[in-house]
Structure 1
């Protein structure tokens, strides 16, 4: 895509405005009219966007393996060092929608460059932090940079490739996300054992600089329409949404499995916050999220399905380690190896899934992905322990491949038709729905697993009890995916009814 020129001159502001709109329309038509070929400039831009997703995913997964080392280094408890992970996740969850909306208003390229720079600088600060609380603060700043990168990367993908290649671009981003998630624990372990815990943060700095250079050189210059020029950033809505999401995220993550009075109070605060946010958005002249967007049955269905599917995917991370170690008796090294199969399958599946979505249609492939996830979950819920590792890996591969197909197709379906001035905020909402699903899944599917295992402490449960808990948890997971398929059918029925009216 050729960058928009800022040097156009007209006889007056109205003529200049019309000329800019005409140029933008011509550029959009030029992109959409060449579905078979992606210009070389767009390929380099996609490389920069892919690195952005890789870095933000790596930032999520690489720190977990270092928590025992960090507890020793800072003479801190697990409850204290877990904030190194929580601060990053909370920053992303609470600010990702706001980052997307801000990009729509002030320019996505400008904000994405700032986000990459912030992430890179914060990575250096994390690696040099002399105290635990400075490390946590730097991780929060790194999370803010990651929120900007996640929200705007998907929004940019629709601008840098022809419309007929949107699925392929989404598949590439899905692949990079899966690679970042899978690479984190193994790379973190190598860096900690070979160098020190500081290396797991400093390794992101050179990658961040490379990402910044690629994005600066190859991303298209911002083109602001008259509507975005007049829009104002919704500070009240941003604050209310951030506080609401923070309360919900903390309610789901604090307590390590126990749900006490503090968790209930945080959930009530989140519910109250939602009411305040909806009221504020209904009155705002330029709201953070236009509530009318949720009247679109396709968008609402996509967001709901994304949250449900992510809830199920978290079950594989919650249940897997206990089943593999307690029931199958695998050593820690082998547990980590088996758990890496899921992200590896996602990495191998996402890019082909994008091409298939472009060819056969994103909505159709969304259903195919959900059916695969439901089948894999159902098989896992009936798998006898006598099948061993193979009996676990095969259904997990089916679930993960289905998830990769669903995620790519669902994102493609939403981002292919969204208005240009709403791409950032819609991308942020898609990422938010996924994050909320993961956070909810960690708590809810963990509780289902504990109840199904009929034990107060899963870490000391009998192998048979853990196996029973695993089967029941994935039976519940298959029901949730069937419910997601029902949302697809309901959304299509509403869309047909609206179009007929």
Structure 2
């Protein structure tokens, strides 16, 4: 049989990677719409069924860096295939679960499979496409992720109205099988290394990082924007865990994350920028429904339709953004994305309610377009600098920074919105109070994007010093 041409093989490999991203983002959003039906089906409280979403989120957040590093050590292809199988099998278990707690456990397993897929897809780009097409490949992955995010609520609603809640989880199964077959057939084989030359997996670092991230994510997701005693205790535990983790990693022979890597301007500033812009993007999801329903008086169906404009823009902008990165370079395109986001957020902070739906959708589209450009450029800039044997863990860090930004945005920006609205319950606040809260929240969002721009300029200056031969710290290749 004649071997496939490299370009043809790369297209099929990217199709498998793109489906992996779609599955993980679809799994994150499709269950939310089913929570009321699940509460009724299992005769459970809303607080109990919330764990169906939290279990997935916590599994992804706490384990994404560790599975990325594990892929670097044992082979990314075999681990990705295992992650796809785990996600698919857990989807079956979710769909047939006879009880709530088995469903929650299956969702945690599904989240672990999603963490593997999210951590390793970007790591494979350097091995499957030519260097000059890296931006387009990253843009494609961003597009499929956005499609999964946009498709989740709408597809979940259709399935819920038709076959019922079990179909919300079982729909992942045929997609999982297709993803597995494409990945198994077209992804490059793992490089074989002798056991003597293989680094050890950092078990203690993994446990410490998982506990630290789990405490932080749980504090913010369970807090709902309020900071009670339990939330503060969890945040304090996360802070102590972070200190212990850094000390342990500094002494480890084969650390999960090398502390010296954070002195690299490309990695450190890119992770911080990713967290900031993801916080801003979550603001649009937190504030948008209240502004559209309370201030503009839209019905539920129309609110959902308007909010889908953001993911739609992200889905259509991903590949063109990748082309811009390949043509103009990652750093220039990063600035362009951030400036676009700042412009959109600034317009939303000045938003007069009399402009109606177009007055909200227009700036929202600008923010989302900038986000798509930034994400593609930022991911490309980081992954281009990484040594092949660290791609998994760095890809995991990029995804982690995005997840932490989303978690932080949901809690902190939600608290800003509630405080600025001057209402005990924003769901019953008056139209003008919600409009004021919306403008204030996006003013804060504009300040966050401005901070990201300052970080981009700082990272660019340090990178320029590096190019000129002035030492600035440890690189990503060590």
TM > 0.5 = yes
Please tell me whether residue 74 in structure 1 is matched to residue 42 in structure 2.
yes
Cα distance in 1 between the residues matched to 2:364 and 2:135? 24
Aligned pairs for 1:228-377 (under 5 A) are 229-377=197-345
Aligned pairs for 1:199-218 (under 5 A) are 199-218=167-186
Cα distance in 2 between the residues matched to 1:134 and 1:377? 42
Contact 1:104 1:228 in 2 (8 A): no
| SS class of match (2:200) | coil
| SS class of match (1:222) | coil
Greater Cα shift, 344-353 or 221-230: 221-230
Q: Number of residues paired by the alignment?
A: 467
1:69 deviates by 0.5
1:256 deviates by 2.5
State the match for 1:162 in structure 2: 130
Cα distance in 2 between the residues matched to 1:155 and 1:253? 29
1:257 deviates by 2.8
CA deviations on 1:351-399 (whole Å, 9 max, x unpaired) are 1000110011011000000000000000111121000000000000000
Please tell me whether residue 470 in structure 1 is matched to residue 438 in structure 2.
yes
Aligned pairs for 1:89-128 (under 5 A) are 89-128=57-96
Structure 2: stretches of 5+ with no match in the other structure: 471-478
Cα distance in 2 between the residues matched to 1:118 and 1:80? 24
Structure 1: stretches of 5+ with no match in the other structure: 4-36
| SS class of match (2:164) | coil
State the match for 2:99 in structure 1: 131
State the match for 2:416 in structure 1: 448
1:188 deviates by 0.3
Aligned pairs for 1:174-189 (under 5 A) are 174-189=142-157
Aligned pairs for 1:351-430 (under 5 A) are 351-430=319-398
Q: 1:270 to 1:372 in 2, by over 3 A?
A: same
1:255 deviates by 3.1
Greater Cα shift, 398-407 or 37-46: 37-46
Cα distance in 1 between the residues matched to 2:233 and 2:393? 29
| SS class of match (1:198) | helix
Cα distance in 2 between the residues matched to 1:224 and 1:409? 32
Cα distance in 2 between the residues matched to 1:159 and 1:497? 29
State the match for 2:475 in structure 1: none
Contact 2:225 2:412 in 1 (8 A): no
State the match for 2:449 in structure 1: 481
| SS class of match (1:288) | coil
Q: 1:432 to 1:228 in 2, by over 3 A?
A: farther
1:492 deviates by 1.5
1:229 deviates by 3.9
Cα distance in 1 between the residues matched to 2:196 and 2:91? 32
1:224 deviates by 4.0
Greater Cα shift, 224-233 or 404-413: 224-233
Contact 2:342 2:449 in 1 (8 A): yes
1:493 deviates by 1.7
| SS class of match (2:254) | coil
Cα distance in 1 between the residues matched to 2:80 and 2:101? 27
Cα distance in 1 between the residues matched to 2:235 and 2:223? 13
1:225 deviates by 5.2
Contact 2:331 2:460 in 1 (8 A): no
1:292 deviates by 1.3
State the match for 2:476 in structure 1: none
Cα distance in 1 between the residues matched to 2:43 and 2:258? 47
1:158 deviates by 1.6
State the match for 1:151 in structure 2: 119
State the match for 1:12 in structure 2: none
Contact 1:38 1:162 in 2 (8 A): no
| SS class of match (2:223) | coil
1:289 deviates by 0.5
Greater Cα shift, 224-233 or 441-450: 224-233
Contact 2:290 2:427 in 1 (8 A): yes
Contact 2:223 2:411 in 1 (8 A): no
TM normalised by structure 1 equals: 0.92
State the match for 1:29 in structure 2: none
